[in-house]
Chains A and B, each alone.
Chain A
Amino acid sequence: MSKKSKRATRVLSVLMNTLVVCAGSLLLCLLPKCGYTFMQETDRALEIFSLITCILLFIIFIVEFIFMLTISSSKFHTVLPPLFLLIYLLISPDMNVIRLPGAGSTAALLLESAENLLFIGTELSLLSFFCYTYRPHGKRISLSPILIAGALCAATYSSLSLSRFRSAVHLSFVIFLAAYFLSIQLRSYLADTDDAIFIFSSAILFSVAGMHTVNVLYYTGFISGSNWATSSYIWFCLLCFATVYISFVLKADKIASRAEECCRQNERLKMKILTGQIKPHFIFNALNIVKSGYHRNPNEGDRSLELLSRYLREIISSADAEIIPFEQELNNINEYVNFVNSSQTHSFNIIYNIDMTDFSVPVFSVQTFVENAVKYSRVNEIDGGYIMISSYAVDGTIELKISDNGVGFDTSRIAKDAHGISNACKRFNILLGTEPTISSICGKGTEITIIIRKESADENNSS
């Protein structure tokens, strides 16, 4: 999915969330009051209120579910909490979705165990979601204590028959959960004070835990039936949950844009390092050539020095650029070859088979290939030896070729030995999205082919 449509879904999701939450809060403001008066008189009103709450709940969770699927990098972690919470709320006695069986019956017991297991599931999925997104001090928060406690709780639950014990076990699990979460929060607070989402997440966890407590109390017979207070409490939890999601989405958006920026900076830095690698070895080789020129005679030394300084000026003035017009690169190559030839007894025959020049290349990239050919191909010792640079248009692309008929080399050694070549290949990859192919046959020569897409060439020329 492209960056733009991802952003659009995020914005849409936030908007939907906000709308639903606004509608919910409005209902929350209006309904409980009427509900309260109705509820005093008839169960019908309570049922209607519950039904509306349920429908809204459904809308919220379906929306969350669908959008989270499209947004988050980890679908599993993002989708589980709303899913769990949805089922949990559906079977929660507060919601009046299912008609409750009489207390003490098998059906009631089954429902109770289902509620408890779902509660554990909800809390665990919520925790895993937050732990996945939050890493105080760059470390992932361990979930194992919660897992162990949850398993213990479930195990003791099934073995206990007395409802009071069961509720005690559950309440202690809730307390443990709260304590553990508080400790995480404290750690993260110490690490990063600006973490609003963490505060919200704890709010949810505590509210869901609170809801569970209400449920446990209901099952164990301490309180009887739903009332407006528990319903409003669920609403409060819901609001918290939606808000957390909104803030998560917003934060994810911010993180994504920051990550993009980092990526770009990274690449720029990498480029600097890559181009930086080329220069020193060249400069020292060049100084050596100048020195040998002066040894032969001062005029020759002067000439190589002038060529070298022209060449260095080209380098320095184009050092800040990442890509340069191909023609300029050719000029640099020409300066380089002239300079090298000024010192050689057998000079290099270089053929400029240039049909296209209106495209750009990474600075010193083609030059690296030529330099390599000059150093290793030994074409200057071969009768009829040449290095050829070709550029021509082939079906909407530009084919750039650096070939020689020299001694060739073993291409499998490139990665280890030739920094220059792998470096130039990398830059072609990063800047133009193309991978040079190198083929070399020992004794027959080397050919490097680079296919440059026209649009990338145009893009770079216009920018």
Chain B
Amino acid sequence: MRIIVVDDEINALHVFLNEIIEEQNIDYKFFRNNTAEICRYVAHNTVDAAFLDIKMPETNGIELAEKLIQILPSIKLVFMTGLSVTAAELTPYVRSRTLGFLYKPYSSDELVKYLSLIKEEKRVLTVKMFDTFDCFIGNKRVSFSSSKSKELFALLLSYNGRTLTMNDAISQLWPDGDAEKSKILYRDAVWRLRKVLNDIDIHCIEWGRGALSLDKGMIECDYWDYLITGKGSYHGEFCKSYDWSVMYLAELDSIRERGACMTAR
């Protein structure tokens, strides 16, 4: 994968280099704002994507983008900007090739997100439910802002597509609490879960009032696969440390035994 990075400020290029230097399989070339040179380079090399600063002294990043698209229509664009520019301010022509915006100062997570978009990796949430429950985007673990919101998500996933009502969730996550207090904690967990999933761009839950339902399309879950194929790394532990998880063990154990019998035979 080959990318070019254009920014008139040497500091900004430094920051970009810092973030990208450990990434593998990426060829990168940095430019300050020499339009002619950039165009020549793009014309003679197969460039997958261009990271462009918007406000530069000689040229404007958006105008530069238009030129680059003319030279190489397949090019993908990411704008790096300190301003709060949004896609709405781009011409439709440029917008159709724009993956998004990196607002300075950006975190490495955001940059990695765009790199995976350039590679056209399918954006899926990988869920590991055996042993301890965890979610991943690529190799990166998703961090939840509260343990209960994580547990709620685990519960919803173990419902395997069935709708999870508020009463069900409360009876399993806060079995001993006072009813009003549990509702408050439930709403808090829902809001936090919603925030986390929104931030990582995984829109897989329909947030009904008093009920949650899951769209399984964007999720790869080892538990679901195990239920269908009987293959997976189940070693007698499922969503460890969650009280309600014991209910699922019987079914999982029976699948494992059936699998063991099959291989024995």
The residues of A with any CB-CB pair to B shorter than 8 Å are 305-306, 309-310, 313, 316-317, 330-331, 334, 338, 351-355, 388, 390
Q: Which residues of B contact A (CB under 8 A)?
A: 84, 103-107, 145, 184-185, 187-188, 190-192, 195, 209
21 A-B residue pairs with CB within 8 Å: A305-B105, A306-B107, A309-B104, A309-B105, A313-B84, A313-B103, A316-B84, A330-B191, A334-B145, A334-B195, A338-B145, A352-B187, A352-B188, A353-B187, A353-B188, A354-B187, A354-B190, A354-B191, A355-B187, A355-B209, A390-B184
Chain B positions within 8 Å of A313 at CB level:
84, 103
- Taking the nearest CB of chain A, how far is it from the CB of B224, in angstroms? 29
Taking CB atoms, residues of chain B closer than 8 Å to A331 are 195
Closest chain A residue to B209 by CB distance?
A355
A19 to B188 alpha-carbon distance, docked (Å): 69
Most buried by A among B104, B184, B185: B184
The answer to whether B195 and A351 touch across the interface, beta carbons within 8 angstroms, is no
| Complex Cα gap A305–B84 (Å) | 17
Cβ A353 vs Cβ B105 within 8 A: no
- B103 contacts across to A, CB distance below 8 A: 309-310, 313
Q: Main SS of the interface on chain A? A: helix
CB < 8 Å neighbour of B184 from A306, A310, A330, A388:
A388
Inter-subunit contact B84/A352 (CB<8 Å):
no
CA distance A316 to B145 in the complex (A): 25
**Complex interface: chain B residues within 8 A of A354 (CB):** 187-188, 190-191
Residue of A nearest to B107 (CB): A306
Decide if A306 touches B195 in the complex (CB within 8 Å): no
Residues of chain B within 8 A of A338, CB atoms compared: 145
B84 touches A351 (CB 8 A): no
Q: Which of B106, B107, B188 has the most CB of A within 10 A?
A: B188
With both chains docked as a complex, state the minimum distance between the C-beta of B200 and any C-beta of chain A, in angstroms: 14
Please state if B105 and A352 are interface contacts (CB–CB under 8 Å).
no
Residues of chain B within 8 A of A334, CB atoms compared: 145, 195
A353 touches B195 (CB 8 A): no
Minimum C-beta distance from A332 to chain B (A): 12
Give chain B residues whose Cβ lies under 8 Å from the Cβ of A351: 184-185, 188
Residues of A within 8 A of B106 (CB): 306
Residue pair A306, B105 in contact (C-beta under 8 Å): yes
Chain B hits for A353, CB < 8 A:
184, 187-188
In the complex, chain A residues whose CB is within 8 Å of the CB of B187? 352-355
Give the distance in Å from the alpha carbon of A224 to the alpha carbon of B209 in the complex: 93
User: In the bound complex, how far is the Cα of B15 from the Cα of A305, in angstroms?
Assistant: 14
Min CB distance A14 to B, Å, is: 47
Besides the known contacts A331-B195, A351-B188, A353-B188, 15 further A-B residue pairs in the complex with CB atoms under 8 A apart: A305-B105, A306-B106, A309-B104, A309-B105, A310-B103, A313-B84, A313-B103, A317-B84, A330-B191, A351-B185, A352-B188, A352-B191, A353-B187, A354-B187, A390-B184
Q: What's the minimum C-beta distance from B178 to chain A, rounded to whole angstroms?
A: 14
Alpha-carbon distance A354/B190, docked complex (angstroms): 9
- Roughly how many angstroms separate A375 CA and B262 CA in the complex, as a whole number? 64
Tell me the minimal C-beta distance from A449 to chain B in angstroms.
Answer: 16
CB contacts (< 8 Å) of A306 on chain B: these are: 105-107
Q: A390 — nearest CB in chain B belongs to which residue? A: B184
Contact across chains for B107 and A352 when beta carbons are under 8 A apart? no
Taking the closest CB of chain A, its distance from the CB of B64, in whole angstroms, is 23
Most chain A CB within a 10 A radius of its CB, from B84, B103, B104, B195 = B84
Closest Cβ neighbor of B106 among chain A residues: A306
User: Which 5 A-B residue pairs are closest in the complex by CB-CB distance?
Assistant: A352-B191, A317-B84, A353-B184, A351-B188, A354-B191
Interfacial chain B residues near A310, Cβ < 8 Å: 103
Q: Which residue of A lies closest to B210 (CB)?
A: A355
Complex Cα distance, B188 from A309, in Å, reads 25
Q: Tell me the minimal C-beta distance from B117 to chain A in angstroms.
A: 20
| Residue of chain B at shortest CB distance from A349 | B146
Q: Which residues of A contact B105 (CB under 8 A)?
A: 305-306, 309
Q: Which residues of A contact B195 (CB under 8 A)?
A: 331, 334
List residues of chain B with CB within 8 A of the CB of A317. 84
Collect the chain A residues with CB atoms within 8 Å of residue B185's CB: 351
Q: How far is the CB of B68 from chain A (nearest CB, A)?
A: 26
Q: Tell me, in angstroms, the Cα distance from A228 to B190 when the chains sit together.
A: 91
A83 to chain B, nearest CB (A): 63
A390 to B187 alpha-carbon distance, docked (Å): 9
Closest Cβ of chain B to A329, distance in Å, is 13
